Structure 1
Amino acid sequence: MPTITFVTNDNKAVEAPDNSNLLRVSLREKGGIPFKCGGGLCGTCKCRIVEGLANTDAVKPKERKHFTEEQFAQGHRLACQTFVNGDISVSWQLPA
């Protein structure tokens, strides 16, 4: 099972089944990724895959409204739209 490390939450590490949704894992395991809508509209769950970007699925059309190609290359994703197929580390901005 892949390990997801929530860097912004004191490097909390949890295991999740293959093809797990990143935001759902965060909610279930108290990972701490902020969210509001959960459907790719608001952008609240913006995060950056610090390690293991290749272990995530393809970018979704809804994500293209929030990021540039350069940001995708740097690992930026929406947690609600991202599915994990291997070990990753993820960080995000803390709400003000």
Structure 2
Amino acid sequence: MLDITFITNNSKTVSVPEDSNLLRVSLREQGGIPFKCGGGLCGTCKCRIEEGREHTDSVKKKEQKLLSEDELAQGYRLACQTFLKGNVKVSWEKSK
């Protein structure tokens, strides 16, 4: 099991199995990451891996289309495309 901390959601922490999808966990556990499509097309679930970036899988082509090189370098990912291998802490911009 690994821990995901949803920083923007009052640092809510949940334990999940390895290889869990970040957006699916957020939906199931009410983590709060925003989303619209869930398929890597809209970019709504853009979030930042604040800690534990080394515990995420490789960046997908869909992410490279929607996120700039700079954003990727800063740890931004699409939650719907991100699978986890270890503990992470994630944040996102709250919609206005």
TM-score by length of 1: 0.98
Letter in 1 for 2:29: E
Moved over 3 A (4+): none
Task: Name whichever of 60-69 and 75-84 sits farther off.
Answer: 60-69
Question: 1:49 and 1:11 mapped to 2: Cα distance?
Answer: 13
Which sections of structure 2, spanning at least 5 residues, go unmatched?
none
Question: 1:65 and 1:73 mapped to 2: Cα distance?
Answer: 14
Report the Cα offset of residue 70 of structure 1: 2.2
Match of 1:56 in 2: 56
Report the Cα offset of residue 69 of structure 1: 2.0
Report the Cα offset of residue 72 of structure 1: 1.1
Identity fraction in percent:
65
Corresponding residue SS for 2:47? strand
Match of 1:75 in 2: 75
Question: 2:10 and 2:3 mapped to 1: Cα distance?
Answer: 15
Corresponding residue SS for 2:42? coil
The Cα offsets for residues 28-65 of structure 1, whole Å up to 9 and x where unpaired, read as 00000000000000000000000000000000000011
Letter in 2 for 1:24: R
Letter in 2 for 1:47: C
